[in-house]
Amino acid sequence: MTARRKFYGWGREDQTVSDEETVFLARLFGQRFGATLVPRTGPRESEFELRAPRLAVPSTLARICSSDRHDRLVHAYGKSFPDYVRMFKREIASPPDVVAYPESESDVFAVLDWAAREKAAVIPFGAGSSVCGGVECDVGDAYAGAISLDMTRMGKVVEIDRASRAARIQAGALGPDLETQLKPHGLTLRHFPQSFEFSTLGGWIATRSGGHYATLYTHIDDFVQALRVVTPAGLMQTRRLPGSGAGPQPERLFVGSEGILGVITEAWVRLQDAPKFRASASVKFADFLKGAEAVRALAQSGLNPANCRLIDADEALGTGAGDGSASLLVLAFESADHAQDAKLSRAIELVRDHGGVVDQPAKSESQHREGAAGAWRNAFLRAPFYREVLVPMGLIIDTFETAVTWDRFAAFHGEVTRRIGDVLKRVTGKPGSVTCRFTHAYPDGPAPYFTFQAMGRMSALLEQWQEIKAEANDVVVSAGGTITHHHAVGRDHRPGYVRECPPLFAEALRAAKSTVDPNGIMNPGVLIDPQGIKVGVRGAMAGV
Ligand SMILES: Cc1cc2nc3c(=O)[nH]c(=O)nc-3n(C[C@H](O)[C@H](O)[C@H](O)COP(=O)(O)OP(=O)(O)OC[C@H]3O[C@@H](n4cnc5c(N)ncnc54)[C@H](O)[C@@H]3O)c2cc1C
């Protein structure tokens, strides 16, 4: 039997951080911040006092509903820094009253009907990897209760159209399950966010997630062919077409809707043949901005590398991919159809023109996973597990991501780095670190991803984070970027979204919501605020 999902931490209960890793991390971060860090045990299920469920489940839905303590804990929060802090402090003000696990579309309809009758809120839940407050049940007192609607029992690849290379897949499919079902057909969705193992197709679509491709097929949007959505007002099914010029595209309204318009139950997605040809190299740059210029040249060259991650020198050092003396560009091409060496050769010429120093290009499959790129990849995959031990040591570690046009990038990078450096010092009394990498590169601009770290005060960790996050929210928008490139809006980014969203569009979105969700039961408090519900404890938006 598969182990249960952790309610505190990343992954399943059998995926632990070893004592050796914990000691190593305490020493590493202790040295970095000149502090003695003491590992502390995470919370136990029995230590939580959850308020009694406020909803009585009708007998017809008992089969798929649970008010079990573990289920309510798993569905109480997502996986952001403040989620970890509050869970570690054993603080859950708004647990779901009921967790529903629909097994079919008619189950989803039945739960929505019940919620509408009871005036309860429904919070669609994929795998709960939201890092912006998208799945918590902090819906205010206007609702009789909150139902977390967990989609993971609807995880099948239902139909494959080999000729068009597309598949109909249920929204609750987790990344690995979906790929396992496609593999016998030689096909792949090839959408690999870092949270791939514990996030779902429906969650990706609802948040417009970004996968591993650094160019071209970056967002899940590019793979969505058609959608099936259950809304409180009825079913919406869009047509399968390779493209269409027939007015605004219906599925686009639901891609990025973050659960406020309805429940995505299925999607037809565009697939690819599994790649057989690869070519990769890592490139060093003495200066991050020089590296950025090289990435711009690559992004505008039409070569479309699958991987084109520029990592600044400090982040390369922190992940073991570099020695801190140079920024690192991880460059890779892949194809199911033809060799990629010529593309790599041309890319190498381009990066050399911008001062890049190229390591020996990888020749074999194993070489693609070794060296600086391999070290970075390993740290990238392991990092999500470390938060559960770092937070109890009092460390503030978080990330924020954005996108900005090339003409503004250099000034933007300078401004963000300066203001986050300043706020870390102001809030914690000591210097922290701010690093940057590119997750994606477009012809017209990069998607920079910032990581900040500082030694916090255990008793005030949440408040300290709130102040830093408010500064981050403000600086990315005022310096010309978007509030989020792929982490979604949720609760934490809502004020930034309000700033970048034209008022008339916001009104149109509210009107669309009142059409498909007339009683306002779908994920209240996320993305938009049609009913004036106050933003909850996260409070990250103060000052924005
Ligand atoms: C360690 C880590 C790494 C991450 N890496 C990436 C990354 O590389 N790229 C990236 O884009 N994001 C990343 N994220 C963020 C997160 O994984 C994505 O936002 C992901 O798309 C969420 O999927 P989920 O299934 O977990 O959805 P959830 O977190 O459960 O839900 C997210 C939002 O979507 C809504 N929703 C979920 N399912 C449905 C549905 N079927 N119908 C309607 N609404 C629904 C929810 O109500 C909520 O508002 C990362 C998060 C973590 C913790």
User: pLDDT (tens digit, 9 = 90+) per residue, 260-283?
Assistant: 999 999 999 999 999 999 999 999
Is residue 289 located within the same domain as residue 345?
Answer: yes
Is 145's C-beta closer than 6 angstroms to any atom of ligand 1?
no
pLDDT tens for residues 338-365?
Answer: 999 999 999 999 999 999 999 877 666 6
Is residue 405 located within the same domain as residue 322?
Answer: yes
In a domain, 265, yes or no: yes
Mutation test of ligand 1: which of 209, 401, 521 has the most ligand atoms closer than 8 Å to its C-beta? 209
pLDDT for 376 equals 74
Is residue 456 located within the same domain as residue 335?
Answer: yes
Instruction: Please name which of 236, 157, 150, 267 lies closest in space to residue 199, comparing C-alpha atoms.
Output: 150
Is residue 183 located within the same domain as residue 258?
Answer: yes
Q: Using CA atoms in the order 238, 241, 246, 248, what is the torsion angle rounded to 10 degrees? A: 50
Averaged pLDDT of the chain: 94
**Spacing, Cα 230 to ligand 1 middle (Å):** 19
In a domain, 60, yes or no: no
CATH of residue 301: 3.40.462.40
Domain count for the chain: 2
At 274, list the tokens: 């599994």
**Spacing, Cα 130 to ligand 1 middle (Å):** 5
Report the C-alpha gap between 335 and 277 in whole angstroms.
5
In a domain, 340, yes or no: yes
Question: 478, 511, 539 — which closes off a domain?
Answer: 478
**Spacing, Cα 128 to ligand 1 middle (Å):** 6
Is residue 258 located within the same domain as residue 309?
Answer: no
What is the length of the chain?
A: 544
Is 322's C-beta closer than 6 angstroms to any atom of ligand 1?
no
Is residue 247 located within the same domain as residue 322?
Answer: no
Distance from the Cα of residue 167 to its chain's centroid? 23
Mutation test of ligand 1: which of 130, 148, 196, 521 has the most ligand atoms closer than 8 Å to its C-beta? 130
In ligand 1, the atom with minimum distance to the C-alpha of 198 is 26
Is 128's C-beta closer than 6 angstroms to any atom of ligand 1?
yes
At 313, list the tokens: 């020198």
pLDDT for 1 equals 72
At 231, list the tokens: 């809304």
In a domain, 284, yes or no: yes
In ligand 1, the atom with minimum distance to the C-alpha of 174 is 25
Mutation test of ligand 1: which of 195, 307, 523 has the most ligand atoms closer than 8 Å to its C-beta? 195
Is residue 324 located within the same domain as residue 240?
Answer: no
The 3-class SS string of 41-91 reads CCCCHHHCCCCCCCCCCCHHHHHHEECCHHHHHHCCCCCCHHHHHHHHCCC
Is 193's C-beta closer than 6 angstroms to any atom of ligand 1?
yes
**Over 80: is that where the pLDDT of 543 sits?**
no
Is 78's C-beta closer than 6 angstroms to any atom of ligand 1?
yes
Question: 273, 306, 338 — which closes off a domain?
Answer: 273
Is 313's C-beta closer than 6 angstroms to any atom of ligand 1?
no
Q: Which residue has the tokens 């590296």?
A: 291
In a domain, 195, yes or no: yes
Q: Across the chain, which distance is largest between two alpha carbons, in Å?
A: 69
Instruction: Please name which of 455, 448, 464, 465 lies closest in space to residue 414, comparing C-alpha atoms.
Output: 448
Is residue 206 located within the same domain as residue 312?
Answer: no
Q: Which domain holds residue 348?
A: 277-478
Q: How far is the CA of 152 from the CAs of 184, 266, 449, 473, in angstroms?
A: 22, 12, 29, 32
Is residue 339 located within the same domain as residue 317?
Answer: yes
CATH of residue 268: 3.30.465.10
What is the arithmetic mean of pLDDT over 176-198? 97
Is residue 213 located within the same domain as residue 310?
Answer: no
Is 384's C-beta closer than 6 angstroms to any atom of ligand 1?
yes
Question: 478, 498, 516 — which closes off a domain?
Answer: 478
Is residue 286 located within the same domain as residue 262?
Answer: no
In a domain, 514, yes or no: no
Is 122's C-beta closer than 6 angstroms to any atom of ligand 1?
no
**Over 80: is that where the pLDDT of 101 sits?**
yes
Is residue 257 located within the same domain as residue 309?
Answer: no
pLDDT for 539 equals 41
In a domain, 77, yes or no: no
Q: What is the pTM of this model?
A: 0.96
In a domain, 133, yes or no: no
In ligand 1, the atom with minimum distance to the C-alpha of 171 is 41
Helices 288-299, 406-428: inter-axial angle, 10-degree rounding: 140
Confidence of residue 231 (pLDDT cuts 50, 70, 90): very high
pLDDT tens for residues 189-218?
Answer: 999 999 999 999 999 999 999 998 999 999
Instruction: Please name which of 358, 363, 313, 366 lies closest in space to residue 341, comparing C-alpha atoms.
Output: 363
Instruction: Please name which of 230, 151, 143 lies closest in space to residue 519, comparing C-alpha atoms.
Output: 143
In ligand 1, the atom with minimum distance to the C-alpha of 526 is 49
